[in-house]
């Protein structure tokens, strides 16, 4: 998609600090980390929210979810981590390409949820 920052990162047009990549997804460190470890897992197909996802894209999200424990382990998050998937305006979604936040590397106890 034109003008989508995550599509540009996937295409290599914008640099990112990659932690994992395969044919289905890219995982890279958030530019504005909200925890000691903050990584975004992005399926390699452009859609904004779960409501707009087609069947093929749902398969990509499934693959992301299956891979996240391995990515988390590689990041040293053996003690746990939080996943967040913002959906739309009230959730504060700012990049309209579905992505899963992995937050960890510290106790998350004082934050929401």
Nearest to 70 by CA among 35, 106, 20, 6: 20
Check residue 16 for interaction with ligand 5GP (CB under 6 A). yes
Q: Which of 6, 16, 60, 104 binds Zn ion (CB under 5 A)?
A: 6
Check residue 48 for interaction with ligand 5GP (CB under 6 A). no
Check residue 30 for interaction with ligand 5GP (CB under 6 A). yes
Least distance between ligand 5GP and beta carbon 93 (Å): 4
Q: Where are the beta strands (DSSP E) in the chain?
A: 18-21, 25-29, 37-43, 81-84, 100-104
Question: Active site includes 38?
Answer: no
């Amino acid at each position: 998609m034109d003008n989508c920052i995550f599509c540009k990162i996937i295409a290599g047009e914008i640099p990112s600090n990659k932690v994992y990549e395969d044919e289905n997804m890219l995982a890279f460190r958030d530019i504005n980390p909200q925890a000691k470890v903050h990584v975004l897992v992005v399926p390699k197909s452009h859609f904004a929210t779960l409501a707009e996802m087609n069947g093929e894209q749902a398969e990509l999200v499934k693959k992301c979810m299956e891979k996240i424990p391995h990515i988390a382990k590689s990041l040293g998050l053996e003690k746990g981590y939080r996943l967040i998937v913002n959906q739309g305006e009230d959730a504060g979604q700012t990049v309209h390409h579905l992505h899963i936040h992995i937050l960890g590397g510290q106790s998350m106890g004082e934050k929401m949820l």
